[in-house]
């Protein structure tokens, strides 16, 4: 099951970066999940953990959406 999830994530990354389909929410959710898990395991209080996880999700989603839109317009993603 883990390998299937990783394979789906890899396809999402490739499609997003190639400009084929936007997968901003999936990729931002993955980043937020990783940060949330790490802060939980480090013993960060739940309120701070949740706030940090939401900030990571919003920032990643915004950044990934803008990168996808730039790529679709034909501009460089650098």
Q: Is residue 9 part of a domain?
A: no
Domain for residue 13, yes or no?
no
* pLDDT tens figures, 31-74: 999 999 999 999 999 999 999 999 999 999 999 999 888 888 87
Region of residue 22 (left: phi > 0; alpha: psi -120 to 50; beta: else): beta
Do 32 and 57 meet the contact criterion of CB atoms below 8 Å apart?
A: yes
Q: Within 10 A of 33 (CB to CB), how many other CB atoms are there?
A: 13
Number of domains in the chain: 1
Residue 37, in any domain of the structure: yes
Question: 5-9, 17-21, 28-32: lowest mean pLDDT where?
Answer: 17-21
pLDDT at residue 77 tops 80? no
Q: How confident is the model at residue 76 (pLDDT cuts 50, 70, 90)?
A: low
Q: Any idea what DSSP says for residue 22? A: -
């Amino acid at each position: 099951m883990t390998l299937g999830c990783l394979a789906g994530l890899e396809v999402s990354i490739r499609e997003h970066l190639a400009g084929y389909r936007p997968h901003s929410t999936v990729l931002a959710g993955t980043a937020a999940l990783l940060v949330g898990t790490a802060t939980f395991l480090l013993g960060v209080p739940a309120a701070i953990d949740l706030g940090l996880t939401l900030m990571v999700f919003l920032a990643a989603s915004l950044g990934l959406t803008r990168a996808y839109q730039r790529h679709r317009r034909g501009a460089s993603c650098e």
